[in-house]
C-alpha cells in the first residue's frame, strides 16, 4: 500500500508476525517496513505511521545525508556553473527542481540518486543555457544578416564527442549542454564557431579567417574547453 506524509509518497510493506508491538523501519527509497501482529487491521497500521510522521521524515533526511556523504565525501560535491564554483546541496522533495542562491545550488529530488539528480539538473540547465545563448546570438545574428544568411535555430543536447554542431542545410545549430559548466567566453566561442559554418561549411583558411576576424582571441576560449 501507499501513504502520503508531508506531500511525500511512501510505499508500505507489511510483515505479519506474532509479536506484541508494531515496529517500523525507513529506507532511503521511501519504503516503510512495518512488522505487526496478524490481528492488527490496516487502519491501525496507517494511524501508527501517521503518529510517527515527524520521526519518519527526520530519519529519511538523516539517511539521505549519510548516503550523500558516502557518495561524495564529507565536504560535499562542487559544481561549476559558467566557470564559477557552486556548492551543491540535496533535499528530499516530491517535486523535482533546482534553486540557485549565490554560490549554493540546491537539488530538490524525490530520491538522492544519479538518475534523479541528472534529471533535475538537465531540467534546470537547458533553459538556463538557452537564455544565455539567446543573448549571445544577437551579435552573431547581425553578422549573418550582413552576409544575407538565414538565421539558425538553436538546440541544446547532451553531446558526447563535440561541443557543438551545425546542420548547414537545415540552418540548425546544436550546443552541448555541458557548456553550462564553462565561462561565458567559451560558450560564445562555440556558438560563433558554429555560426561561421553557415557561411563556410568546412574548416578551411577562410573559415578561421572569418572566425578570428570577429573573435580575435578565440584560441584562449578554445584552450579552456577540456
Write the DSSP string, 24-87.
EEEETTTEEEEEE-TT--HHHHHHHHHHTHHHHHHHHHHHHHHHHHHHH-TT--EEEETTEEEE
Same domain, 29 and 92: no
Same domain, 158 and 175: yes
Q: pLDDT of 13-31, one tens digit each?
A: 999 999 989 999 998 778 9
Same domain, 108 and 23: no
Question: With 0-12 CB in 10 A as exposed, 13-18 as middle and 19+ as buried, what is 9?
Answer: exposed
Range of the domain at 26: 2-69
Same domain, 218 and 129: yes
Same domain, 218 and 163: yes
Q: Could you give the CA distance from residue 41 to residue 164 in angstroms, rounded to a whole number?
A: 60
- Residue 202, pLDDT above cutoff 90: yes
The count of structural domains within the chain is 3
The predicted pLDDT at position 18 comes to 92
Q: pLDDT of 33-90, one tens digit each?
A: 999 999 999 999 999 999 999 999 888 887 776 665 544 433 458 889 999 989 898 8
Same domain, 61 and 91: no
Q: Could you give the CA distance from residue 56 to residue 48 in angstroms, rounded to a whole number?
A: 11
Amino acid at each position: 500500500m501507499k501513504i502520503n506524509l508531508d506531500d511525500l509518497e511512501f510505499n508500505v510493506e507489511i510483515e505479519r508476525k506474532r509479536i506484541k508491538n508494531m515496529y517500523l523501519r525507513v529506507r532511503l527509497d521511501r519504503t516503510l517496513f512495518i512488522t505487526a501482529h496478524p490481528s492488527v487491521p490496516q487502519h491501525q497500521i496507517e494511524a501508527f505511521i501517521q503518529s510517527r510522521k515527524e520521526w519518519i521524515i527526520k530519519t529519511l533526511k538523516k539517511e539521505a545525508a549519510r548516503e550523500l556523504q558516502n557518495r561524495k565525501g564529507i565536504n560535499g560535491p562542487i559544481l561549476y556553473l559558467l566557470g564559477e564554483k557552486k556548492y551543491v546541496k540535496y533535499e528530499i522533495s516530491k517535486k523535482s527542481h533546482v534553486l540557485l542562491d549565490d554560490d549554493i545550488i540546491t537539488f530538490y529530488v524525490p530520491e538522492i540518486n544519479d538518475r534523479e539528480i541528472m534529471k533535475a539538473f538537465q531540467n534546470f540547465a537547458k533553459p538556463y543555457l538557452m537564455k544565455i545563448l539567446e543573448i549571445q546570438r544577437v551579435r552573431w545574428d547581425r553578422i549573418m544578416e550582413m552576409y544575407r544568411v538565414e538565421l539558425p535555430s538553436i538546440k541544446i543536447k547532451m553531446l558526447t564527442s563535440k561541443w557543438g554542431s551545425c546542420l548547414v542545410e537545415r540552418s540548425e545549430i546544436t550546443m552541448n549542454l555541458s557548456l553550462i559548466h564553462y565561462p561565458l567566453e567559451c560558450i560564445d566561442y562555440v556558438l560563433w564557431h558554429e555560426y561561421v559554418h553557415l557561411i563556410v561549411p568546412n574548416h578551411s583558411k577562410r573559415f578561421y579567417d572569418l572566425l578570428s576576424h570577429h573573435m580575435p582571441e578565440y584560441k584562449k576560449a578554445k584552450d579552456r574547453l577540456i
